[in-house]
Chain A
Amino acid sequence: MRSFVPLYLSRVFRLSIFCLALLAPSGLVRAGEPEIVETFGAADAPGRLVIRSTIDLRIFGQVVDAYLETRPDLQIVYQQWGSNDLYQDSVEGCHGGDDPADMVMSSGVHQMVRLVNDACALSYRSPATANLPSALRWRDELWGVTREPVVMVYNRRLVPPSEIPHTRFDLLDLLRPSLSRYAGKVATYDIEQSGVGYLFAFADSREATTFGALLESFGRTDAVATCCSAELISGVADGTYLIAYNVIGSYAMELAYGDDRLGVVLPEDYTLVLSRAVMIPKQAHHPVEAQAFLEYLLSSAGQTELQRARLIMPLIGEVGAEGETISETALRSISLSPTLLVALDRQKRSHFISRWRETFEVARPPESDPQ
């Protein structure tokens, strides 16, 4: 049953009031369904652990397998969710949903911070969690377990080496000419549909003024906003897009290894580093199993597995096929702190999205432009 359901078609961003309501942090809207559900371990195992996560099963499955080798008594139900749906589901679970997860892992760390702020998480403290740097834990209820750079992916066949954008400024330069061949060929997350896309865009907006110029360039050149990492990367691979901006590095690396059409760049001006956050919901039925799994993820065995799955990346030194390197000062971790609550503020969010939307509105063909 390993298949991706359903992949959204890429499309130019479209305005939708309903979408806004969907993203509002109230529990009124019915959450979606998991994209994939997979059960690991023996069916008759006494222990049970339900994980809801945004990590691709394809990538994370090996970590779960490795863990279950040490825990033959455990059955793990792994559900892969989109970050927004997972957030909605967790909000419902927090407010008395009947089917809570035992562990939630999400790349939408701002949503996780919000869940913790709303007292939806169980507290847990151990030497391993206490050892985490303060940017990777909050309140002993939220822990960052991975270390993934946010990268640009390009098509190695269609983008000549001289034009590979090593920084955001390079990307701006590529888009500047009025007849740039990159027009309409640059893609990024649709920030309304993808929680992690929104998070990256929000982090960008706080990191540098480059973000404003990028938005403007994206708008002017008909850049494409689409849903998911997998789709972005496959689009680059097949030449639909030349460059994908702000892609989670783990997926890109994973695919780039097996596909010589794909190149990966860690932007040298700054590279965002995402740590996917783990929390144990307050209503979890199997919190002890969840804590044990968290311990595993933080143990050296677990870290090795996560590295093998490219969820923890050695960022200094050799990373990409081209031997991309990046200095340590350019790394910007998205730290788990209440500051991320700003990202989910309803007014802030609607302003941010409407600004994003206006950019893409301007980019529309003249005949459909009301102005």
Chain B
Amino acid sequence: MARKLFSLGSSSLTMRVALAVTSLLVIGGVLVSIAAFAYGRQAAQEAYDRLLLGAANDIAGSISVVNGEAVVDLSASAFQLLALAPDDRVAYRVIGVDGQTLTGYDELIVPPGADGSGGSRFFDGTFTGEQARYVVVLRRIAERSLNGTIQVIVGHTMLARNALALDITRKALLAAVVSGIAMLLLAVFVVRSALKPLERIAQTIAGRDPHDLTPVDPHVPREAAVLIGALNGFMARLDRQMSTMRNLISDTAHQLRTPVAALRAQADLAAEVEDDERRRAVVARIHARSVSLGRLLDQLLSRALVMHRGDSARREVLDLRDVALDVFESGDFNILAPDAGVRLAIGEEPVAVLADAPSLQEAVKNLVTNAIKHGKAPVEIGVSADNGEGCIWVRDAGGGLPPSVEEALGERFLRSAVSRGDSSGLGLAIALAVAEAFDGRLSFTRPETGGFRVAVMLPLKEDSK
């Protein structure tokens, strides 16, 4: 069963639609057949009941009273009516006011029922062992010499009725079958033409160069466009990641070459210097270079992390205060500057945004490092919310970036900063990349209380409470 379901799941759409249409037609066909049969029966019943009634009324109309006795002058027209059902036996009986048969077949009896209501009544019965349909019509006589009700029973067997019912049913079924086949053909045609774009897309994709990640032509039916949109989005992300990685590798290679070359030069120098004093100084420089190289490496890696996560990590609801707290408590900056005096400034209210915690932490850490390195103590890490934006910021008491840098802050600058190995530029680049990855921005302000504040502004998650 499971296998069957599975095979249904992967069977072709044409097959599915054909199956659905066929079952629809089969169910519909059964219903139509039942309806056609019922309709045929009813139509035949009504048609021949009218015939019966006409004949019975004709006979009832031919009853007259002569010398106090009811006389039936049976008319041939009544029987001509009945002969319209050419092969059916005819039964009739006229019952007088005293319950005696005036004429006709004595064996016909009216089954008990509401025959006192007047008018006519139909009932089913048998005649000489065959199924038959009867009508009884009442004729009231109110003469001085004769007063009462005369019953006229007329019936006939069901051959013509059944033949007519069958005929109507057959014709209705024929129409149903023909239209069903037409619908099936139409369905096949429609499904084929509807699925044609999919085939075309499949061919387009199959015929592509494996390195070609450009978008597929989106001019397809709306339903398929969803698929194409998703496909194009996926390919764009892949493309971005690949180029990010390429950039990262080339940048990293470029940035590491210079400091490593410098380190080697220093090391060569140290090997050649014989004077202890000078050698100590060279070793101290080598140490400083190594530390700076280590920091650069950290930043390059965190940038790679941010670049990678920005596109691939799942966004979740974060409280910015938690991010600030995590950065504060990690205390990385204490190694850098144990006496920087970093403080935390967070409020009571949670500030919820949609983002990725490790990326944000990297960004904030870089900002803190920048502040410690280039700004003045005290350095503050804070969180606030206004204007629908959540804000996690780092403030120091320094003068901030030169305005030219602030204005020029952009990809180009950051790229150059990156290639220059300028670590403050790199830190800002990371913060900017993180902000943009989560639909936010980077803001620089100089608060009235003095100092310089860099903030990552992210849209608030509205219904976070």
Contact = CB atoms under 8 A, between A and B. Distances in A.
Interface stretch (A144-152, A324-332, A336-344): A336-344
A339 B71 contact: no
Interface stretch (A46-54, A56-64, A302-310, A345-353): A345-353
Contact of B71 (A119, A338, A347): A347
Contacts of A347: 71-74, 94, 102-103
Interface string A207-220: 00000000000000
B73 A206 contact: no
Interface in A110-135: 116-119, 134
Interface string B161-200: 0000000000000000000000000000000000000000
A30 B75 CA distance: 30
Contacts of A351: 71, 73
Given A119-B89, A139-B87, A348 B80 contact: no
A138 interface: yes
B104 interface: yes
Contact of A338 (B82, B94, B103, B104): B82
B146 to A, nearest CB: 15
B130 A119 contact: yes
Contacts of B102: 347
B86 interface: yes
A339 B84 CA distance: 10
Contacts, number: 55
Contacts of B129: 119
A117 to B, nearest CB: 5
A117 B86 contact: no
Contacts of A138: 86-87
B205 interface: no
Contact of B90 (A117, A134, A206): A117
A interface SS class: helix
B128 interface: yes
A15 B89 CA distance: 34
Interface string B86-109: 111111001000000011100000
B90 A341 contact: yes
Contacts of A346: 103-104
A52 B78 CA distance: 32
Given A119-B128, A119-B130, A348 B103 contact: yes
Contacts of A348: 72-74, 103
Interface in A89-114: none
A339 B80 contact: yes
A140 B86 CA distance: 11
B418 to A, nearest CB: 104
Contact of B79 (A119, A134, A339): A339
Contacts of A342: 74-76, 78-79
Interface string B52-96: 000000000000000000011111101110110011111100100
B239 to A, nearest CB: 84
Which of A139, A140, A206, A347 counts the most B-chain CB atoms under 10 A from its CB? A347
A198 to B, nearest CB: 15
Contacts of A119: 89, 128-130
Interface string B152-163: 000000000000
Nearest to A205: B76
Nearest to B76: A342
A206 B73 CA distance: 13
A246 to B, nearest CB: 19
A339 B76 CA distance: 6
Interface string A26-46: 000000000000000000000
Contact of A206 (B74, B76, B83, B130): B76
A138 B71 CA distance: 30
A139 B103 CA distance: 24
A134 B86 contact: yes
23 contacts: A118-B128, A119-B89, A134-B86, A138-B86, A139-B87, A206-B76, A338-B88, A338-B89, A339-B76, A339-B79, A339-B80, A339-B83, A341-B79, A341-B90, A342-B76, A345-B72, A345-B74, A345-B104, A346-B104, A347-B71, A347-B102, A347-B103, A351-B71
State the 4 A-B residue pairs at the shortest beta-carbon distance, nearest first.
A119-B128, A347-B103, A339-B79, A338-B90
Interface of A: 116-119, 134, 138-140, 206, 337-339, 341-342, 345-348, 351
Given A338-B89, A339-B79, A348-B103, 9 more contacts: A117-B89, A119-B129, A140-B87, A206-B76, A337-B83, A341-B79, A341-B90, A347-B71, A347-B103
